[in-house]
Chain A
Amino acid sequence: MTGRHEEAGWTAPAPAPAAAGNEAGCAAAGRGRNDPPPGTWRRRAPAIAAAAGLLALWQVIVSGFGVPTYIAPSPVQVLQVFVEQGDILWLNFWPTLMEAASGFLVGNTVAAVLAVWFVHSQLAERAFYPIAVFVNTIPIIAVAPILVLLLGNGYAPKIVIAALICFFPTLVNMVRGLKAVSPQMLELMRVLSASGREVLFKIRLQSSLPFLFAALKIASTTCVIGAIVGEWIGSNYGLGSLIIEATYNFRAPLLYATVILGAGMAVAAFTIVTLVERRVLKWKPPEVF
């Protein structure tokens, strides 16, 4: 964007709309940002073909070498579970989804609120940030039994575990995002005699959004992991408990189907966050995506 575009827009004092409209510098104007760019299918075809190839290879190896089903089921057997035992799968799908979603909501909300507090109070940041770092270093697997002891066998410990696992990346990113305002922008706000509230709501929250969404994308998949880990420790429902049960009973096809369903939940959550991000962050220059 140099002098050439400069001149195109420079038809003062009364530029014709047409003259301003054919501004070549505006690259993003033509295509809506949500349309898949041309050639998307050609770009994705290799990945799809590779996945299909691996599935086929798996099927060939399992049936060709006569691998027992309880060790490794074939893709067709796993598919059969979805058809024949679909009700068990779905029955256990919903509690896990509920726990993961609640954990996602709670963990990210608490993290975002804390981040705002930290940015406004150095004392709070100095006091609690190290604690947050410490809590984050404890493996979630080790925290889970403690939470089950504390909170019982219901939904609560699973939601807390899912929330804990979301919490830290969001806190770190959000603090960074809220601080990622240029000093010059803050000086501008000072020249305008803006209050701290105005700086928060007009500047900081908006400029933290790209950072927040980066964290939410991580959280969208880890919250599912959190819920499932919580169900391993003590539960008789949910995908986590189904995984344990299927493993101990050598029901390998059911185990695989459950794992696939859990992965599907995470992928769906990730996709939703990505779609929301695209809507909300329309203002981001395209090259940032």
Chain B
Amino acid sequence: MSPTAAGSAASPGAGRSESPAAGPAAVSVRDLAVRFESDAGPVTALDGVSFDVPAGGLVTMLGPSGCGKSTLLRAVADLVPLSEGEISVFGRTPEEARLARDFSFVFQDATLLPWRSAIDNVRLPLEVGGRNGSVEQHAEPDELLALVGLAGREAALPHELSGGMRQRVSIARALVCRPRVLLMDEPFGALDEIARDKLNEELLRIWRETGTTIIFVTHSIPEATFLGQKCLVLSAHPGRVREYVGIDFGEARTLATRDTLEFVEVTAHLRRLLGESG
């Protein structure tokens, strides 16, 4: 399935300087199939999935629940073995990429250690996996907390922070090893809409400032549209690529972008795709 330019009304000239399709692929998935053994026989979660994520790109992933979004992300992260096909992360296998700390994962729950302060939670990746604080190229934890808007809260324990703040700490933690790819599985799914909107804008800023490639799973069509340069729409049972939709709103995306006609057209297109895929 080749990238399709959806939302034909989106102004063609106002694209980002680097077109999403150009440049080397950060993550490349080829003919991926993932099957699980269950009591009722094998379950095919993903089948024949192929797509590329360009380096520095931000790709959102959308699909009905149970269609295999998490499984796909977890396959990239070496948390799920592949049954068929291959995945490369900057030319490495998922396992090599994991050992090289090429990617980080952000879960729906912040998964912070409750006994550690915000800044000590951000330091965790520097202390484990044979790192012992000697990661050559890590970012400064306090600068990362400032980047995610938590300057001054370094010493706060997780239970003293709101849900949105905890998720920000977990994003800072994911960035501490300067990963080349950030894998996010419905990271704002548990937040209220106001917090989610703020974090969406904030994520775009962090993405621009760090140049990290991001794959972002969501079940919110507006969120997928607002964040993504491209949106990978999956269909369910088994999970396949329904369409890889290009989204082009030009350089500045603000919350006001959501009220534009182009935005509404893209969301309508995505909604139609999801409706057809059941």
Contacts and interface: CB of A to CB of B under 8 A. Distances in A.
Contact of A191 (B104, B160, B192): B104
Contact of B149 (A9, A27, A206, A284): A9
Query: Taking each of B115, B128, B153, B157, which has the highest tally of chain A beta carbons within 10 Å of its own beta carbon?
Result: B128
Interface residues of A, number: 43
Contacts of A10: 149, 198
B156 interface: yes
Interface stretch (B161-169, B235-243, B244-252): B161-169
Contact of A195 (B130, B160, B195): B130
Contacts, number: 122
B146 interface: yes
Contacts of A120: none
A3 B77 contact: no
Residues of B contacting A: mostly: loop
Interface stretch (B35-43, B106-114, B213-221, B223-231): B106-114
Contacts of B78: 190-191
B192 A283 contact: no
A12 B149 contact: yes
A185 B127 CA distance: 15
B165 A20 contact: no
Nearest to A199: B128
B98 A193 contact: yes
Nearest to A18: B152
Nearest to A25: B162
A1 interface: yes
Nearest to B146: A13
A284 B101 CA distance: 31
A192 B99 CA distance: 8
Interface in B152-210: 152-153, 156-157, 159-165, 192-195, 198, 202
A9 B162 contact: yes
Interface string B101-131: 1011101010101111000000011011110
Contacts of A7: 194, 198
Nearest to B107: A184
Contact of A192 (B107, B129, B147, B162): B129
Interface in A205-224: 206-207
25 contacts: A6-B164, A6-B194, A9-B153, A10-B198, A12-B146, A13-B149, A15-B151, A20-B151, A20-B153, A21-B152, A29-B160, A182-B109, A185-B111, A188-B107, A190-B78, A190-B79, A191-B78, A191-B79, A191-B98, A191-B105, A193-B130, A194-B129, A202-B128, A283-B159, A285-B114
Interface of B: 74, 77-79, 98-99, 101, 103-105, 107, 109, 111, 113-116, 124-125, 127-130, 146-153, 156-157, 159-165, 192-195, 198, 202
